[in-house]
Amino acid sequence: MMHYLLRRSVHAVFLLIGVSLLAFAFTVLAPGNYFDEMRLNPQITPETIAALRAQYELNQPLPIRYVHWVSSVLHGNMGFSFAYNTPVAPLLLVRARNTLLLTVTAMLLAWGIALPLGIWSAERFGRLSDRLVSWGTAALLVIPDLALALGLLVIAVKMGRFPIGGMVSLNFENLSLAGKLRDLGFHMALPVTALVLSVLPLLVEHVRAAVAEVLGAPFLLAAEGHGIPRRTLLYRYALPAAANPLISLFGFSMGTLLSGSLLVEVVMSWPGVGPFLLEAILARDIYVVIGGVLLSTLFLVGGNFLADLLLYWADPRIRTESNA
């Protein structure tokens, strides 16, 4: 077990170093820099811009900047934001918290719907009800996320029941605990719905396909022949047997927790990483962008690590292989 964990950890560290190198190279080598936009401001002289570039080490060679940045990461700052004139880590973490609140809720809800719906659909494989589910998921799949989010916003404006954006009301601090939770829930309703609708088709189809494949297996036919009730058959025998690809998918979906909601956050003014990263990319606030990429990679690595552990626990074949 320890050997298995150690091997996965070493892989994760190499992956993080590789991603940081690539993210750094691509971001830094992109044409233009943060201070270019200042050139269009007639009040700012070229000398001031040159001095600022020097102050923020934009004139230094790439390897030196990378080493300084790595040192900053090790000190917990993740570089320095040109725009905010402060270290990146605190800026990113406060927004990452908001993003996680949104995406974890949406992910739990999406899996909570996808598992029973996928199993229900697989059980009726080929029948009209299964086809209806397939058509529904296909329809959701072809609607772009942007259209989905904007459509929900338009409905919300027409209904006038839900807030159009933001995370809490202006009088949030004056509300009771129940009032605060209700207010937060109201604000989360639209973005969570948009996120659930965007990931649901993929999850339902995966669960459906995995369970349908297992349902035709001889051991299940034998179990059915022994008179085991259908419900027990599905949830106790079929689902664990179909779990492997679903656990991998779960691990992967953890990786998208930070980056998966970027578009929805921008459209719905959710104060998460999305609007912050988009602005940083457009403004070439490079250390914010690299910080965002690194944090997403960390989540992906963490998700895969968790999935590996779950697979190790769920699948005896992996235990045997890694112990061998």
Partner 1 sequence: MVRTARANCSSWRIIFVLLFVLAALFTLPVAASPQQKNSKEELLVLPGEIGRSGGRLVVSLRAEPKTLNPLNAPDISSREVIGAMQADLVHINRATLSTEPALAKSWKISPDGLQYTLVLRRGLKFSDGSPMDADDVQFTFRVYLDEKVHAPQRALLIFDGKPISLQKVDSQTIVFQVPKPYAVAERMFDGCAILPRHLLEKPYKEGKIAQLGALTTAPNQWAGLGPFRLKEYVAGQRLALERNPYYWKTDTKGNRLPYLDELVFLFVPSADAQVLRFQSGETDVISRLAAENFSVLSRQQKDYTMVDAGPGLEYNFLFFNLSDPTEKTPADIVQRQKWFRDVKFRQAVSSAVDREAIVRLVYQGRGAALWGLVTPGNRRWADEKLPHPPRSVERARELVKEAGFSWGAAGNGDSWLQDSGGKPVEFSIITQSSSAERSKMAALIQDDLKQLGMRVQVVPLESRSLLDRVTETKEYDACVLGAASTDADPNVDINVWLSSGGLHLWNPSQTHPATPWEAEIDRLFNAQMYARTFEERKKLYDRAQEILWENQPMIFLASPDILTGAKKSVGNFRPAVLEPYVLWNVEQLYLRNEAVNATR
Two tokens at 123?
């059980």
Residue by residue, DSSP assigns 117-140 as HHHHHHHTTTSHHHHHHHHHHHHH
Work out how close the CB of 20 gets to partner 1 at its nearest, in angstroms, rounded to a whole number: 22
Residue (87 or 260) nearer to partner 1, CB: 87
Position 278 contacts partner 1 (CB under 8 A) = yes
Closest alpha carbon to 5 in 255, 308, 320, 315 = 308
Question: How many residues of this chain interact with partner 1, rule: CB under 8 A?
Answer: 54
Three-class SS state of 80: strand
Work out how close the CB of 263 gets to partner 1 at its nearest, in angstroms, rounded to a whole number: 10
Q: Which of 25, 94, 108, 141 binds partner 1 (CB under 8 A)?
A: 94
Instruction: Tell me how far the alpha carbon of residue 100 is from its chain's centroid.
Output: 8
Position 31 contacts partner 1 (CB under 8 A) = yes
Q: How far apart are CA 257 and CA 250, in angstroms?
A: 11
Residue (32 or 63) nearer to partner 1, CB: 32
End-to-end CA distance of the chain: 11
* x/- letters, 154..193, toward partner 1 (CB under 8 A): --xx--x--xxxxxxxxx----------------------
Q: How far apart are CA 143 and CA 139, in angstroms?
A: 7
Phi and psi of 80, rounded to 5°?
Answer: -125, 130
Residue (120 or 186) nearer to partner 1, CB: 186
Q: Rule CB under 8 A: which residues touch partner 1? A: 30-33, 36-46, 48, 51-52, 55, 83-86, 90-91, 94-95, 98, 150, 153, 156-157, 160, 163-171, 266-269, 271-272, 275-276, 278-279, 282, 284
